[in-house]
A and B are shown apart, each in its own frame.
Chain A
Amino acid sequence: MKKFTSLLIITLAIGAIAFSGCSSRRGTDTGKVRIGYSTPALTNQFWNRVTEGIQKEGEAGGIDVIVADAQGDSGKQLSDIEDLVQKKVSAILISPWDTDTAASCLRKANRAGIPIIVVDIGTSGGEYASFIVSDNKEGGRMAGRYIAEKIGDSGKAVHIQCQLGARNAQLRGEGFEEIMNEKGISIVAKQPADSRRDLGMSVMENILQKNPDVNAVFAQNDEMALGALRAIQTGGLEGKIMVVGFDGNNDAIDAIREGGMAASVGQQPEEMGRIAMQTAVKIINGETVDKQIFVPVKLITKDDLK
């Protein structure tokens, strides 16, 4: 057993050395500016698209981009940052796995004196040069305006929330309610459904018992919106209640195309990557940048999908 364990450790060590060798070979001594990007998981479509945006902008500007994939592991993300610090990149972009991981990563970069830019998610500590994030509140307003336009001022709306601690989602809700108040549209029910489709369905089923005459539903993410849509369909009210979600995920896009969902507020990951890269370049050139930069979101309706 002991023999096996030591053999395992040796194998892992060799593997690790071999792998780190692979990733450090690229981009050394080319004389170009080098910028590192630490992504939480490339298997995730969203991060994949952010990475594409960063790489494209890097190519255009003749910058070497070193991408490190944490593969969904916060420990690996921390060591990825250590590696980037070792490589003495000019700036680091990070999309943190979570806000606590972000804090540890930021402190590492801070100690090395390398400017670090947080791309989405946010951080619970450390110093960052800029924080690039989707304009969630404006997205909520867009959803609100679209609903108001379609149902008129005398309509009734339902608001389905993500788990109550999720800050990005809360901002969406605040933006939505701002418009509802402005237009005098009453929100007859407001319930959390924990970002889940099945809970979105049962919450909506219950709401429909009390308020079968509502005109619109805004859900803070697409999963809950799709659940609410199911409740509306199985309740025989399809076409009578408009559903607007947030994210622009694949199932939601299909539902919008088929006419079940009215719209979804889509984030623009490529744009987020592009803006992040531009911000990094500005910082390297000594220009001042805003502490928080909003990436525009856009409303996706059936007309956009033709």
Chain B
Amino acid sequence: MLKKLGGIIGPLVGLIIICIILTIMSANFLTAGNLSNIVKQISVNAILATGATLIILTGGIDLSVGSLLALAGAVAGHFLLTAGIPAGIIAGLIVGVIAGSANGLLISYGRVAPFIVTLGTMTILRSLTLVFTNGKPISNYPESFLAIGEGEIFHIPIPVLIALLVMLACHLMLKHTRFGRYIYAIGGNEEATKLSGIKVKLQKTKVYVLAGLLSAIGAIVFISRLDSAQPQAGVGFELDAIAAVVIGGTSLSGGQGGIPGTLIGALIMGVLRNGLNLMEVSAFWQQAFIGSVIILAVLADQLRKKGD
């Protein structure tokens, strides 16, 4: 059992320690209401981080997810109001697929480093969002759409359910499909994977398309929770997503890690933010805490590996 848990043991222990400290420090932390609150708040980051995990497993990186969330959200919001709920959702998802394809094609076939491509698309997508929204929020959606963000099924908030389903599907894909094994192989040794006859460029492109789609799903959940698509939405979300992946033990050089670690990473981020808020720590210090946790997590992981 322990061996099967493997790389996620470290982050899991970290999460438990943080929870114990917060329970002692704040009487409001360990309540059903607050825990449900935390998982609702991390649902969007967890969805984005799932896409980021897939990309980081191939040895890549995606900085454009926050901007893509804003654009997909704005497009979905616009069409929700003008053409109905299904049209809005589909339009948002299409934006995700198109942007993901652009990233993937430029990285795989254009041979530009992922960092550069997605840095470029990050600013382009942000700019397109400003153009599309004219700098104004798009708000006041129909009640039935808001149910995505507010509703519950079997007492589980729907955003959480969506995040869990997305994570489960990607986890199963990684572990049990050929595509999943290719992702690990590309991250482990791209050259060897290519030489063994796998169409690396195609597979990599597919990963970015999938991540784009996931960002768009995140966008739908986000705008439904907030009842508004904001031109400045998602600023910094890419870093939160990457942080969750890294805290969860996935290696930035690719080939190692997985979705369960990312789930724990996202939980650690959410629990920390919530706990620091409950203890009324100033927002300036909150960032220092979270930064320290990111570094500590990776440091601990390194030390543990050395010990093996």
**Residues in chain A within 8 A of chain B (CB atoms):** 43-44, 164, 189-192, 194, 196-198, 201-203, 205-207, 209-210, 223, 226-227, 230, 234, 250-251, 254
The CA of A197 and the CA of B137, in the complex, are separated in Å by 10
CB neighbours (8 Å) of A203 from chain B are: 277
B86 interface hit (Cβ, 8 Å): no
Shortest B199–chain A CB gap in Å is 35
Q: Could you say which residues of chain B place their CB within 8 Å of the CB of A192? A: 282-283
Chain B interface (Cβ < 8 Å from any Cβ of A) = 26, 28, 31, 33-34, 37, 40-41, 134-137, 139-140, 149-150, 222, 225-228, 230, 232-233, 273-274, 277-278, 280, 282-284
Chain A residues in 8 Å Cβ range of B31: 209
Expressed in whole angstroms, the minimum distance between the Cβ of B278 and any Cβ of chain A is 6
Tell me the smallest distance from the CB of B196 to a CB of chain A, in Å.
42
- Cβ of B135 and Cβ of A198 under 8 Å apart? no
State whether A209 and B28 are in contact (beta carbons under 8 Å apart), knowing that A191-B280, A197-B230, A198-B222 are contacts in the complex.
yes
Closest 7 CB pairs of A and B: A206-B277, A210-B28, A209-B34, A192-B283, A234-B150, A209-B28, A251-B139
A242 CB to nearest chain B CB (Å) = 19
Measured CA separation A223–B280 after assembly (Å): 21
- For residue B284, which residue of chain A has the nearest CB? A164
The residue of chain B having its C-beta at the shortest distance from the C-beta of A236 within the complex is: B150
Q: Nearest CB to that of A227 among chain B residues?
A: B226
In the bound complex, how far is the Cα of B274 from the Cα of A191, in angstroms?
A: 12
Residues of A with C-beta under 8 A to B230: 196-198, 223
The answer to whether A226 and B228 have CB atoms under 8 Å apart is yes
Let me know if A209 and B137 touch, CB within 8 A. Answer: no
**CB nearest neighbor in A for B235:** A196
Which of A189, A201, A205, A206 counts the most B-chain CB atoms under 10 A from its CB?
A206
B256 to chain A, nearest CB (A): 32
Known: A210-B28, A227-B226, A254-B139. 14 other contacts (CB 8 A): A194-B283, A197-B137, A202-B41, A203-B277, A207-B277, A209-B28, A209-B33, A209-B274, A209-B278, A223-B230, A230-B225, A234-B225, A251-B228, A254-B140
Residue of A nearest to B282 (CB): A192
**Residues of chain B with a CB closer than 8 A to A207's CB:** 277
Find out whether the CB atom of A251 lies under 8 angstroms from the CB atom of B137.
yes
